[in-house]
Structure 1
Amino acid sequence: MKLSRKLVLAKAKAPDLESVKKLNCWGCNLSDISIFTQIPNIEVLTLSVNSITSLASLTGCLNLCELYLRRNKISSLSALSHLRSLSRLKVLWLAENPCCGTDPNLYRLTVLRCLPHLQKLDNQVVTEEEVALALTQGEEVTTPTEPVQNQPSTNGHPDTETENDPLEYSMDETNKIRKQLGMKPIPRDKFPSLSSPSTRENRLLARKSHTLDAILLLLKDLEEDELLVVHAATQNRLQMFTLNSEMMKNSLQTQRTEDIED
């Protein structure tokens, strides 16, 4: 699947591609990310759990600070050569790609030799000692001879998109996540199709259902400290609902008292 302009703007809630600074495309079955030649101001990018093989399209993303690429199909560390010019890149998560090989120590030192400015690699802090060691023991990364994706068409306009672009909240995607969670799939007659005319309420229900499933799946990958952050945020959210509920209840009681007095 090719990451389209429409999907980027929908996920980032941005008016145009140049305004996009944060983007989360976790688990979207992407293989073509050529659109990033048109997103120069991206700062935080999540592309984990996809089918990406090339990073050539990220060469011009000079503001990129955090890049998450876990569980993709990057076969060689030579792909990292496209990130050398990204001097602001401090966080990289590349684990569970074929390029990581069988020697975790050599893999880490090779990545740090290519990208010595990293501060965190695969969720582990990079030390000065590691960087110094990488310069002598890490393997040199060469630039791959691969065509750059996402070149604009000759007329200067991006590829034309059709109304049949794959939708991020499809029934298949949702049921795939539910299966991994050990949950029952949603029957076809119970799932509101987003590709056909439907009510606004149905669209909202489908979005919420998919979001909940994705959150539950992501929880499996979080460490204790990260789970504590989620727990704190959830508590704050629940307290907000409780407060709003109490305010509404008090308001109704006040209204009833005024009606009785009248």
Structure 2
Amino acid sequence: MKLTRKMVLSRAKASELHSVRKLNCWGSRLTDISICREMPSLEVITLSVNSVSSLEPMSGCRHLSELYLRRNRISSLAELFYLKDLPHLRVLWLAENPCCGPSPHLYRMTVLRNLPRLQKLDNQAVTEEELTRALMEGDEITAAPSKGGAGNGRSPPSYTLCSVGSSTATSQGLLSYTEEEAEIQGQLSLKTPAVDGSPSFSQRDALRSHKDRDRDVTS
């Protein structure tokens, strides 16, 4: 599903795209967020639990300070290239994407090496010690992602999502949902939006969504 002008203005209660500062699109089945290129004033956006695969549309959001992207389809950490020149980005939630890979440590070090201004990553505060270690242990991303490369001059790593048992995945998913909603609502004064014409996304809906996804994985 494409994020449209109508959806943005409705959820942000704004009259023009250029004036939108905060936007909540949690669990909206989105695949295309190209309209973000038309929102230069955007400061906070939550896109968690969608199917977004590219961060390129965010590259022009120079005022962006908080970006929530948990559980999408970001396949490569090379996508971070599009966030490197955002001077105000302080909060990023990228967990549960394919790009996180099999090594949580390498993932975190790579993100922090390329986005050293972050103060919080995946709901965990960033420390000065981590930033120092990231310079030595993280991979530097020097180019935008391409079909044939990873954007850092190396062969693309074979990142895959860790397989977790259905009950564990569901519990962890709901926990992340609760934590994220608390973070967003507490700091940003946002409510979980309804998909246009549909009721708000509840925890019961989240549980059903996770069960459906687990069934797809095991079938």
Above 0.5 in TM-score? yes
Q: CA deviation at 1:218?
A: 8.7
Query: Runs ≥4 in structure 1, deviation > 3 angstroms?
Result: 206-209, 215-220
CA contact (8 A) 1:82 1:143 kept: no
Question: For residues 115 and 45 of structure 2, what CA distance do their matches in structure 1 show?
Answer: 17
Q: CA deviation at 1:47?
A: 0.3
RMSD value over aligned CA atoms? 2.5
Per-residue CA deviation, residues 145-202 of structure 1 (Å, 9 max, x unaligned), is: 459xxxxxxxxxxxxxxxxxxxxxxxxxxxxxxxx99xxxxxxxxxxxxxxxxxxxxx
Question: For residues 41 and 97 of structure 2, what CA distance do their matches in structure 1 show?
Answer: 26
Unaligned runs of 5+ in 1: 148-179, 182-205, 221-262
After superposition, residues 57-72 of structure 1 pair within 5 angstroms as 57-72=57-72
Question: For residues 59 and 29 of structure 1, what CA distance do their matches in structure 2 show?
Answer: 22
Q: Structure 1 residues 41, 217: closer, same or farther in 2, change over 3 A?
A: farther
After superposition, residues 1-262 of structure 1 pair within 5 angstroms as 1-146=1-146, 210-211=199-200, 214-217=201-204
Which SS does the other structure have where 1:67 is aligned? strand
CA contact (8 A) 1:48 1:69 kept: yes
Give percent identity, aligned residues only.
57
Question: For residues 196 and 31 of structure 2, what CA distance do their matches in structure 1 show?
Answer: 23
CA contact (8 A) 1:66 1:91 kept: yes
Q: CA deviation at 1:57?
A: 0.7
- 2:10 is aligned with what amino acid? A
Q: Structure 1 residues 131, 45: closer, same or farther in 2, change over 3 A?
A: same
More RCO (CA 8 Å, sep 6+): 2
Q: CA deviation at 1:215?
A: 3.9
Which SS does the other structure have where 1:134 is aligned? helix
Question: For residues 47 and 75 of structure 2, what CA distance do their matches in structure 1 show?
Answer: 16
Q: Alignment length, in residue pairs?
A: 162
Unaligned runs of 5+ in 2: 148-172, 175-194, 208-219
Output the TM-score relative to the length of structure 1: 0.58
Which SS does the other structure have where 1:210 is aligned? coil
Question: For residues 217 and 91 of structure 1, what CA distance do their matches in structure 2 show?
Answer: 27
Q: CA deviation at 1:58?
A: 0.6
Q: Structure 1 residues 218, 21: closer, same or farther in 2, change over 3 A?
A: farther
